[in-house]
């Protein structure tokens, strides 16, 4: 049924990895993707050694005859990915609170997608229409569009 008064919900398509998130919109269910915003995390592209010079101390571990880290160690790139996932989730939550987004489609590598989910509030998770666990970040919008449902609504 063609309804001339049909109003497209406020949809955002998020294509992200640990270093960049691209946000797209579309003006029709089968329409092309239009990039509306980009969030960057340049630290994700640095080598671990460039991110930190402070390593946890080590001590002798007489029980195992070896050495162990005095604290749990998380790789610096992983820490940066976690920060970026939180920043992206906060950005999307802000857009949702402002009434700018009513439905989300998200594509990201599985590890980053999982990290993003950890930082999403239940209200934000509730508007996610589809998640794609693939890295589409290097594709152009026309190539990306093929990975999302034919009708985005």
Domain ranges of the chain: 11-41+76-145
Mean pLDDT of 115-124: 97
pLDDT for position 51 = 45
Average pLDDT value for the chain: 83
Q: What tens digit of pLDDT does each residue of 23-44 get?
A: 999 988 999 999 999 999 987 7
| Separation CA 75–CA 87 (nearest Å) | 19
Which CATH code fits 11-41+76-145?
3.30.420.60
Residue for token pair 């590598």: 109
- Tell me the pTM: 0.77
For residue 20 the two structure tokens come to: 């960049």
Look at the chain and count its residues.
153
CA angle 139, 112, 40 (to 5 degrees): 60
The pLDDT value given to residue 3: 47
Could you write out the DSSP letters of every residue in 68-80? EESS----HHHHH
Residues ≥6 apart with Cβ < 8 Å to 56: 69, 70, 71, 73
DSSP class of residue 101 equals: -
């Amino acid at each position: 049924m063609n309804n001339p008064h049909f109003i497209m919900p406020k949809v955002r398509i998020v294509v992200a990895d640990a270093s960049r998130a691209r946000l797209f919109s579309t003006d029709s269910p089968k329409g092309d993707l239009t990039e509306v915003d980009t969030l960057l995390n340049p630290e994700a592209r640095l080598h671990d050694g460039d991110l930190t010079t402070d390593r946890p101390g080590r001590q002798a571990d007489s029980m195992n005859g070896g050495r162990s880290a005095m604290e749990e160690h998380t790789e610096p790139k992983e820490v940066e990915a976690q920060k970026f996932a939180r920043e992206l989730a906060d950005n999307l939550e802000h857009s949702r609170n402002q009434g700018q987004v009513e439905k989300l489609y998200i594509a990201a590598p599985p590890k980053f997608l999982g990290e993003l989910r950890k930082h999403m509030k239940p209200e934000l998770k509730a508007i996610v229409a589809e998640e794609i666990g693939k890295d589409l970040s290097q594709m152009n919008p026309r190539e990306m569009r093929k990975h999302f449902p034919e009708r985005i609504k």
